[in-house]
Structure 1
Amino acid sequence: MRRLLIATAGRSDYGIYRPILDRIEAEPELDYALLVTGQHLSDAGGGTVEEIEADGRPIAARVRLPETAASRGAVAEAMAVALSETGVLLAGEGFDMVVVLGDRFEIFAVTAACVPFNIPVAHIHGGEVSFGAIDDSLRHAMTKMAHLHFAATDDYARRIRQLGEEDWRITVSGAPALDTMMKAELPDRATLSARFDLPLDEPPLMVTFHPVTRQFGEAERQTRALLTALEAVNLPVVLTAPNADVESDVIRRLFDAFLARRAGRAWLVESFGALNYLAMLREARAAVGNSSSGLIETPGFELPTVNIGDRQLGRTRAANVIDCAADADAIEAAIRQALDPAFRASLAGMANPYGDGNAAERIVTTLRDVPIDARLTGKIFVDR
């Protein structure tokens, strides 16, 4: 039996992994355990490890990291801890392959720890671009350390090839989150309303906003601009908590003040969990923020989406995405465009460029069948 170690650092990647884990569990030739770290175990992150425990997923290790919300130095320290503790785990247990996803600094450290052990790494969501975040550099570095690549689109696969990777290592799988969106039974409106104490008779704006890590010092200005625009539009707002990047503490502080001003019209949910989050997108009037979910998942609901600033600059966009600068007037104008019934009507029947909902099958088939040998671990650079 082939044993996989799968690294997860927060609610966002765990939700993406869910259909992959389900498919692995149905495969008799594969076994797996999770390395749980990052925001899952953060005091400020809502204790999202509880979702993993409730799902009954096997956990090989829990790697608690320093809190990173207020300090760039703490991010470097957290990377060091994640790298070191992953090394301890790999030295003590026999894993045949490590699976990583995305571009978070915690997952970069896990990937780097695999290098001295010569353990093959499978990377999901490589080849993408997000110029506004330091994650951009980390993602491409992970591509060069990884041995298998599961790209969400043809464009992203082409970029992986530009980085010198051999064609046979690359699979255009699509985005695994779409598997859940297309195939899972999502909670209905009444269930969501009761579970999170949210009145949903009037569709809210769904807002997810994170620090832009290549624009350190700008979080307060950008968040104030967002909140000013939301107040001007004067609709119900559901906020999700920011991730663990530096200056997320600034965003949280401003969110708290906004919630106090808008009591009864604004709510914050620390973590919905994957199924509930997708169901909230289904119920929303529009999505607003700078999260990758605004580009990947929202097209499947034909949901108007306002993408703010540079955090996702460079990613593939569908017709539902309205880009705007991170200032109050631009954000307000973009929201009003998203709320225009004619704009929403124009999205009927739109295609999602991120796949067909069968990513997990493609990924798990490759993880099961690829020979683990010198050809896999002995990477060459292809000059093109």
Structure 2
Amino acid sequence: MKILALTSIRSEYDLLSSLFFKLHSDPEIDLQLMVGGAHNSPSFGLTKKDIELDGFNVLINIESLLDADSKSSRLKSASILLLSATDIVNQYSPDLIIYAGDREEVMIGALLGGYLSIPTLHFFGGDHASDGHIDNPLRHAVSKLSTCHFVSTKEHESRLKALAERGNRIHNVGSVALDKFSEINPNTGILNEIAGNKVDRPSALFIFHPVESEMDIASEVVCDSITALIEEGFHVFVGKPNSDHGNTNICHAIGDMERKTEHISVYGNLSRESFVQLFKASKLIAGNSSAGLLEAASIPIACINIGERQRGRYCTDNVVFVDTDKKSVINGIRKIKDQEFVTMVENIVNPYGDGKASERAYRLIKTIDFQSLLLKKEDPLLYVK
């Protein structure tokens, strides 16, 4: 069985890495990766090197990311990826194309599969946030173009059915992103290793990505939020933002904060192992990363989600949503430090899964007849209640 997996950014690659290892080790499967986007950009860590270190076979490396930090650059980058990949994918003729999430590159995977008559498998379909970000309608559009779906929760399964996807196309395996938390052990020295010196405060992980509706205030939000965490007694480990439009101003704000205080450590791209160990060593995660909603409960730690991004997304009670002003962030920090809240978080169960999803996904990939599901003939009108 020939499988082509698409990957364009470190965060999305690590979501599927546990599954990739299982597929790669199977002698009956030829797993090849199509590597594009931020993976091939020095500005974002040139993370294709990490894929090479993992030992996976790379069918094609595509330098598709325009490092322009504009609205149009994401669309242009996606078009480069599609144009560069089409002939090679057609020649390789895989039995299945795999992709995950809600970035523009997954649309390329869906289009390649649809127009080249190759079955496709979409991970994390049916998820939804009410923040108005383009990622949400794109995720749903990709689901309609995809052959099958491996979803994380019952709610996601129901949402896909509401989009008129047949039940035999949908499999609730749990989130494959959680497997790494059971596979990677804690490291008591990780904070000092990343900081480059002794960290004598409790640590907070901070990740803030650009959002169109908050573009004008993003720098202020980042500075105020980091300041609030420091004032409340934390050493803040700050991850640089993704390649979305607006990342430059956020990076500048992070750099300004780094020069002002010793209680901050900034990182670009960490290895999978180091990031999970940092996550496990932190007392909380703040910002607007999906990791706070989807993964923090597996440790478990609290999440303070700042601003509009991720609003309305399914999560459990360890997540506190706050506005972007400094006072709201401080109130959120004080809420999660309350002993009653701490006790609640210690006993929480992650609704996204048990850390064994990759094995379930692997076994299903081995048994599903994807070719028989390729043609999507179902009429949405038949699903109207």
Task: Pick the TM interval, shorter chain.
Answer: over 0.9
Partner Cα separation in structure 2 for residue 215 and residue 88 of structure 1:
39
Q: CA 1:350/1:66 → structure 2, altered by over 3 Å: closer, same or farther?
A: closer
Q: Does 1:271 align with 2:295?
A: no
* Corresponding residue for residue 348 of structure 2: 350
The 8 Å contact of residues 69 and 245 in structure 1, kept in 2 or not, is answered as no
SS of the equivalent of 1:149 reads strand
Partner Cα separation in structure 1 for residue 52 and residue 296 of structure 2:
28
Partner Cα separation in structure 2 for residue 59 and residue 279 of structure 1:
27
Matches within 5 A, 1:109-124: 109-124=108-123
SS of the equivalent of 2:74 reads helix
Shift of 1:228: 4.0
The 8 Å contact of residues 288 and 335 in structure 1, kept in 2 or not, is answered as no
Amino acid in the other structure paired with 1:172 = N
Partner Cα separation in structure 1 for residue 185 and residue 195 of structure 2:
15
* Corresponding residue for residue 5 of structure 1: 4
Q: CA 1:273/1:111 → structure 2, altered by over 3 Å: closer, same or farther?
A: farther
Partner Cα separation in structure 1 for residue 89 and residue 121 of structure 2:
16
Matches within 5 A, 1:1-384: 2-68=1-67, 70-132=69-131, 133-182=133-182, 184-191=183-190, 193-194=192-193, 197=196, 199-262=198-261, 264-382=262-380, 383-384=383-384
Q: Identity of aligned pairs, percent?
A: 26
The 8 Å contact of residues 71 and 245 in structure 2, kept in 1 or not, is answered as yes
Shift of 1:220: 2.9
Partner Cα separation in structure 2 for residue 329 and residue 195 of structure 1:
29
Shift of 1:195: 5.7
The 8 Å contact of residues 24 and 56 in structure 2, kept in 1 or not, is answered as no
SS of the equivalent of 1:4 reads strand
SS of the equivalent of 1:150 reads strand
Shift of 1:285: 1.7
Q: CA 1:56/1:26 → structure 2, altered by over 3 Å: closer, same or farther?
A: closer
- Partner deviation per Cα, 1:15-38 (whole Å, 9 max, x = no partner): 111110122123332221111111
Q: CA 1:88/1:201 → structure 2, altered by over 3 Å: closer, same or farther?
A: farther
- Partner deviation per Cα, 1:104-132 (whole Å, 9 max, x = no partner): 11222232232210111100001011233
Shift of 1:363: 1.4
How many residues of Structure 1 are paired with residues of Structure 2 in the alignment?
A: 381
Q: Judge which range, 364-373 or 124-133, deviates more.
A: 364-373
Partner Cα separation in structure 2 for residue 173 and residue 371 of structure 1:
17
SS of the equivalent of 2:201 reads coil
Partner Cα separation in structure 2 for residue 284 and residue 85 of structure 1:
41
Shift of 1:68: 4.5
SS of the equivalent of 1:253 reads helix
- Partner deviation per Cα, 1:223-265 (whole Å, 9 max, x = no partner): 3442342343342110011000000111000000000001x21
Amino acid in the other structure paired with 1:164 = A
* TM-score, normalised by the number of residues in structure 1: 0.94
The 8 Å contact of residues 324 and 330 in structure 1, kept in 2 or not, is answered as yes
Partner Cα separation in structure 2 for residue 55 and residue 203 of structure 1:
32
Q: CA 1:50/1:195 → structure 2, altered by over 3 Å: closer, same or farther?
A: farther
SS of the equivalent of 2:189 reads helix
- Partner deviation per Cα, 1:361-381 (whole Å, 9 max, x = no partner): 221222221114343334424
Partner Cα separation in structure 2 for residue 236 and residue 327 of structure 1:
20
Shift of 1:194: 2.9
Q: CA 1:235/1:76 → structure 2, altered by over 3 Å: closer, same or farther?
A: same
- Partner deviation per Cα, 1:88-146 (whole Å, 9 max, x = no partner): 32122121110010001122223223221011110000101123321111101110110
Q: CA 1:48/1:375 → structure 2, altered by over 3 Å: closer, same or farther?
A: closer
Partner Cα separation in structure 2 for residue 196 and residue 92 of structure 1:
47
Partner Cα separation in structure 2 for residue 177 and residue 321 of structure 1:
18
Partner Cα separation in structure 2 for residue 192 and residue 237 of structure 1:
10
Partner Cα separation in structure 1 for residue 197 and residue 377 of structure 2:
51
The 8 Å contact of residues 68 and 75 in structure 1, kept in 2 or not, is answered as no
Partner Cα separation in structure 1 for residue 314 and residue 237 of structure 2:
26
| TM-align CA RMSD | 1.9
The 8 Å contact of residues 209 and 289 in structure 2, kept in 1 or not, is answered as yes
Q: CA 1:177/1:89 → structure 2, altered by over 3 Å: closer, same or farther?
A: same
Q: CA 1:338/1:126 → structure 2, altered by over 3 Å: closer, same or farther?
A: same
The 8 Å contact of residues 195 and 265 in structure 2, kept in 1 or not, is answered as no
The 8 Å contact of residues 33 and 60 in structure 2, kept in 1 or not, is answered as yes
Partner Cα separation in structure 2 for residue 312 and residue 198 of structure 1:
33
Partner Cα separation in structure 1 for residue 172 and residue 370 of structure 2:
20
The 8 Å contact of residues 308 and 325 in structure 1, kept in 2 or not, is answered as yes
Q: Judge which range, 228-237 or 297-306, deviates more.
A: 228-237
Q: CA 1:23/1:312 → structure 2, altered by over 3 Å: closer, same or farther?
A: same
Partner Cα separation in structure 1 for residue 208 and residue 88 of structure 2:
34
Amino acid in the other structure paired with 1:37 = G
